Amino acid sequence: MNWATEWLDDAPGEGAVPDATSAPTGMDADPSSAAETETAGDQDIEMALPIPAAAGPSGVLVAGVCGGAGATCSALTLAAALGTAQVAVAAVDATADGGDLLERGYGEDVPAGEWVFSEGVLWGRRALGSPDGESLAAASTHALLGAAGYLPIYDAGSTLRARRLAPLLVDRALAIVLVVASRGDSVNRLPGQLEWIQSTLGEEALGSVVVVVASTRPGQTPVAEHLRAHLGNRVGAICEISHEASLASGGPVRWNELSEQIQGDFEQLAKTVRNVGDAWVARP
């Protein structure tokens, strides 16, 4: 299937999608901090839980289609939205070298393998040195969180193709959130990501994909509607996150300080992800 010729050839309107030179103003860029080393405490995730996440997906893997698409911001705010809904949720930094998920969501860094609980969310990091170690850590972390009753939200950064993520992607019950900034360079990379999912995981895996269009400037753009029109039923769902300047600052994100519009957008995304997960898990 050639995604690009089927829906990208028809532009969504002149000036609707800014070009690659447009500065993103609504979501964060790719983090690039130093690699973390593994520390003890992998098993220390037992604590009082909110309502267990028994239904829906086994976890959510959030990735940007390119750098600066907004994967980290989407992951931590989605986790916060689920936490306020009394879902037992964990936000996990699954980037290669360790990003700023914890600094922005929890307020400070946490060493790899340690877990902290704050404002309804369990925060942790999985960033190891060797590819083999990363894959093993991903599998064990996923199993431990599931056994403890948590719905893990993984921040994968700007790639789904990393070897360390393979143990997560083979889980049929995992939901995938692909974040697309409303910029031309970001939108144009979406077909390649969908083709990779289709060829690697199977066409049916596209049903577990939620495409999130993150607005990079105030006002509405036709990007989300354009994708809905041309993707049709090929992916699980398409959602849109409005622009908010506070999310572009790179500083801590506090749920109760976000606008009602942004809170509503992420609450809708949380419902969509769980509904897509329910439908995906129910498939034969």
Q: Name beta bridge partners: 152.
A: 90
What CATH number labels 37-281?
A: 3.40.50.300
In the chain, where the domains are located: 37-281
Q: Is there a contact between 62 and 75 (Cβ–Cβ < 8 Å)?
A: yes
Most confidently predicted of 113-122, 244-253, 271-280: 113-122
In this prediction, residue 108 carries a pLDDT of 86
What is the model's pLDDT at position 61? 96
Nearest to 74 by CA among 279, 258, 276, 281: 258
CA distances 139 to 206, 273, 279, Å, are 22, 21, 24
Q: What percent of the chain has pLDDT over 90?
A: 33
Contact predicate 210/237, CB 8 Å? yes
> Mean pLDDT over residues 1-15, rounded?
43
Paired tokens of 124 = 């942790």
pLDDT tens track for 107-147: 888 887 788 998 889 998 764 434 455 555 677 888 889 99
The pLDDT tens digits of the residues spanning 78-101 come to 999 998 888 899 999 988 877 888
Helices (H), 19-86: 71-84
Q: What is the pLDDT of residues 202-214, one digit of tens each?
A: 988 999 999 999 8
171 three-state secondary structure? coil
- What are the start-end ranges of the H helices in the chain? 3, 71-84, 101-105, 131-147, 166-169, 184-187, 190-201, 223-231, 260-281
Residue 2 vs residue 22, higher pLDDT: 2
Query: CA 57, 63, 65, 69: dihedral to nearest 10 degrees?
Result: 120
- Cα gap 250→136, rounded to integer Å: 31
